[in-house]
């Protein structure tokens, strides 16, 4: 049996990933592909528990190293329990965020050592690299504005923006470095046009797989 595809979705907050993931799921299902959608951090009982610790706004004291180990622990569990077996069964896995988020947020965003991140990632994913990654490229200022409420935009919001800008610049570097795997999608276009671009890229990959 052929192994399934492993697709990951990346981008800064507010880049419109969710809508496009929904479109991808519907499109691939309509083509008769079995697709499983999962997310990071999360996707298993253990990883979802870890997610709630990582994202809990009450834990303001969390150390950067604690954060990176928690993301890696959640990832290791998801790879073993969900991604590997599903792909081995010949099904497609779409994962909302994966290792590129790790390098963009913990590496470029937090400024943690890239070699250390690489080593931990090698252990956590045990060879499960995505076949293709969609990076939804949107300036974080626009992404955050999309989400902004009247109460936003204070000092903390500005700090967050600086962080998001480092993450965004990191994503751009990753996309340039791994241009064979990472397909950059201009997410500033209207939603329908973004979907046209995603569908085009997706069909190229699906067509290629069918020929192999
Ligand atoms: P989530 O609410 O899922 O974000 P979004 O809806 O924008 O995808 O929260 C996940 C957050 O975790 C998001 O801000 C990105 C961050 N993250 C990391 O910092 N490192 C990682 O390795 C992963 C997978 C996510």
Q: What is the pLDDT of residues 159-186, one digit of tens each?
A: 478 999 999 999 999 999 999 999 999 9
Q: What spacing in Å lies between the alpha carbon of 14 and ligand 1's midpoint?
A: 11
- Its sign, for the CA torsion 41, 42, 45, 49, is positive
Residue 82's Cβ-side half-sphere holds a number of Cα atoms within 13 Å equal to 24
The 182-186 sheet, strands edge to edge: 35-39, 92-96, 6-11, 132-137, 182-186
CA distance linking residue 42 with residue 96, whole number of Å: 10
Q: Which range is least confidently modeled, 53-57, 83-87, 98-102?
A: 53-57
pLDDT value of position 1: 61
pLDDT value of position 70: 97
Residues pairing with 93 in the sheet: 6, 36
Domains of the chain by residue range: 6-211
Q: How confident is the model at residue 14 (pLDDT cuts 50, 70, 90)?
A: confident
Residue 208 vs residue 42, higher pLDDT: 42
Query: DSSP assignment, residue 9?
Result: E
Q: What is the pLDDT of residues 67-84, one digit of tens each?
A: 999 999 999 999 999 999
* Residue spans of beta strands (DSSP E) within 5-88: 6-11, 35-39
Q: Is the CB of 164 under 6 A from ligand 1?
A: no
Which CATH superfamily includes the segment(s) 6-211? P-loop containing nucleotide triphosphate hydrolases (3.40.50.300)
CA distance linking residue 178 with residue 26, whole number of Å: 27
pLDDT value of position 150: 41
Please, what is the average pLDDT of the chain?
A: 91
Q: What is the pLDDT of residues 137-162, one digit of tens each?
A: 999 989 877 765 544 433 223 447 89
What would the mean pLDDT of 123-135 be, rounded to a whole number?
98
Q: Is the CB of 97 under 6 A from ligand 1?
A: yes
Over 80: is that where the pLDDT of 106 sits? Answer: yes
pLDDT value of position 157: 35
Q: Is the CB of 48 under 6 A from ligand 1?
A: no
């Amino acid at each position: 049996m052929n192994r399934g595809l492993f697709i990951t979705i990346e981008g800064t907050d507010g880049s419109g990933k969710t809508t496009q993931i929904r479109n991808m799921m519907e499109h691939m299902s309509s083509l008769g592909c079995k697709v499983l959608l999962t997310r990071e951090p999360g996707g298993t009982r253990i990883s979802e528990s870890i997610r709630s610790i990582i994202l809990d706004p009450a834990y303001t004291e969390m150390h950067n190293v604690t954060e990176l180990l928690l993301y890696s622990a959640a990832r290791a569990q998801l790879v073993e329990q969900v991604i590997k077996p599903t792909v081995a069964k010949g099904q497609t896995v779409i994962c909302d965020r994966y290792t590129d988020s790790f390098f963009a947020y913990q590496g470029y965003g937090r400024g943690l050592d890239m070699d250390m991140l690489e080593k931990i990632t090698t252990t956590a994913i045990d060879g499960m690299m995505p076949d293709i990654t969609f990076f939804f490229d949107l300036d974080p200022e626009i992404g955050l504005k999309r989400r902004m409420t009247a109460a936003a935009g204070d000092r903390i919001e500005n700090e967050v923006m600086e962080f998001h800008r480092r993450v965004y610049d990191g994503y751009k570097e990753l996309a340039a470095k791994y241009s064979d795997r990472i397909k950059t999608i201009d997410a500033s276009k209207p939603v329908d046009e973004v979907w046209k671009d995603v569908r085009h890229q997706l069909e190229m990959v699906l067509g290629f797989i069918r020929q192999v």
